[in-house]
């Protein structure tokens, strides 16, 4: 593909809705067809989808996320939609927000409406964890803007690609190769090998849901370590280190296994759109 310097292309034409604290946007939820993902966070790699095996042994329980297909309107930062432009996005939420939206949907259905028939004012209440609050605003404006053809096209694209937004899909073999690769790309000294092993552990997941207990203590390990190693032994250390330190150490780092009650694969729910846009 030819291009001009400055052109930027995205691998997937689907992004998450990300907001800054107290920002307000107006969105419509396009469908009750959603994507559920279970992912692990791996340092230097990002998210990988759980395959219910060694990943859980090494990294602990996966994070569950629900992906909804939404449109974001151009709004005035408060309650008003300014025009008919629509931005198609993925709303990625955890179990708590998902359950809150289910309750809203149940209430709306008692009024012969539903979650896909209303627009919502979304307010970001926590930027780090992207926690949001949802208020029903009015009837879904996108239903008057979007053609059935474009709707179907956008939903098909969403269902086919949303999983990738959450992370890399890997087999057990892919995973082992990936972890070996991460280990071998790191400078091979005893010090950093240990650091990488530590990074691979679940405690450093930045995208995980808010943990109840520790706050300051968790972050200190990865950031503080690198400063001490390089200065101490400039010349002599590299000679001895590469041979003795096994590159694959991070993979085998022992982690308490809790794989038993984990359920498998990220599932993509698909069917036709018969019930939509009626």
> Is position 170 an interface residue for Zn ion (rule: CB under 5 A)?
no
- Angle 207-176-204 from CA coordinates, rounded to 5°: 25
Nearer to Zn ion (CB atom), residue 7 or residue 260: 260
Which of residues 30, 36, 56, 101 is near Zn ion by CB under 5 A?
56
Tally of CA atoms within 13 A in the half-sphere of 108 that contains its CB: 20
- Write down the least CB distance from residue 121 to Zn ion, Å: 36
Which of residues 55, 86, 122, 159 is near Zn ion by CB under 5 A?
55
Task: Give the whole-angstrom CA distance, residue 60 versus residue 54.
Answer: 10
Nearer to Zn ion (CB atom), residue 188 or residue 255: 255
> Is position 50 an interface residue for Zn ion (rule: CB under 5 A)?
yes
DSSP for residue 32:
S
**Residues in contact with 198: Cβ distance below 8 Å, sequence separation at least 6, in sequence order:** 204, 221, 222
- Write down the least CB distance from residue 196 to Zn ion, Å: 19
> Residue 98 is inside which H or E element, if any?
helix 95-110
Q: Cα 5 vs. chain centroid, distance in angstroms? A: 30
- Write down the least CB distance from residue 145 to Zn ion, Å: 40
CA distances to 34, 179, 196, 222, 234 from 252, in Å: 35, 10, 12, 19, 29
Nearer to Zn ion (CB atom), residue 56 or residue 91: 56
Q: What share of the chain is helix, strand, coil (3-state, %, to 5)?
A: 35, 25, 40
E strand intervals along 94-130? 118-126
- Give the range of 55-63, 127-135, 144-152, 165-173 binding Zn ion by CB under 5 A: 55-63
Residues of this chain, 60-79, that bind Zn ion according to CB under 5 A: 62
- Write down the least CB distance from residue 61 to Zn ion, Å: 8
- Give the range of 9-17, 53-61, 207-215, 244-252 binding Zn ion by CB under 5 A: 53-61
> Is position 200 an interface residue for Zn ion (rule: CB under 5 A)?
no
Residues that bind Zn ion (CB under 5 A): 50, 55-56, 62
């Amino acid at each position: 593909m030819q291009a001009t310097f400055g052109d930027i292309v995205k691998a997937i034409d689907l992004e998450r809705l990300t907001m800054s604290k107290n920002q307000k946007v107006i969105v419509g939820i396009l469908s009750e067809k959603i994507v559920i993902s279970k992912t692990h966070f791996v340092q230097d790699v990002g998210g990988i989808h759980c395959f219910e095996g060694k990943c859980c042994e090494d990294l602990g329980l996966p994070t569950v996320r629900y992906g909804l297909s939404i449109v974001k309107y151009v709004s005035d930062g408060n309650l008003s939609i300014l025009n008919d432009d629509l931005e198609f996005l993925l709303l990625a939420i955890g179990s708590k927000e998902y359950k809150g939206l289910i309750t809203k949907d149940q209430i709306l259905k008692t009024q012969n409406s539903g979650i896909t028939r209303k627009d919502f004012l979304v307010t970001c209440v926590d930027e780090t964890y992207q926690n949001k609050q949802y208020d029903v605003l009015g009837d879904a404006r996108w239903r008057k803007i979007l053609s059935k053809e474009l709707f179907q096209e956008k939903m098909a694209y969403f269902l086919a690609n949303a999983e990738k937004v959450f992370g890399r899909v890997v087999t057990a073999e892919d995973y082992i190769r990936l972890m070996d690769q991460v280990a071998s790309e790191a400078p091979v000294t005893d010090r950093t090998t240990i650091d990488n092993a530590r990074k691979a552990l679940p405690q450093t997941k930045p995208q995980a849901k808010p943990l109840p207990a520790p706050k300051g203590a968790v972050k200190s390990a990865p950031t503080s370590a690198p400063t001490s190693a390089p200065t101490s032994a400039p010349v002599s250390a590299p000679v001895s280190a590469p041979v003795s330190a096994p590159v694959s150490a991070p993979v085998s780092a022992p982690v308490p296994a809790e794989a038993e009650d984990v359920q498998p694969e990220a599932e993509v729910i698909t069917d036709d759109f018969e019930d939509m846009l009626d």
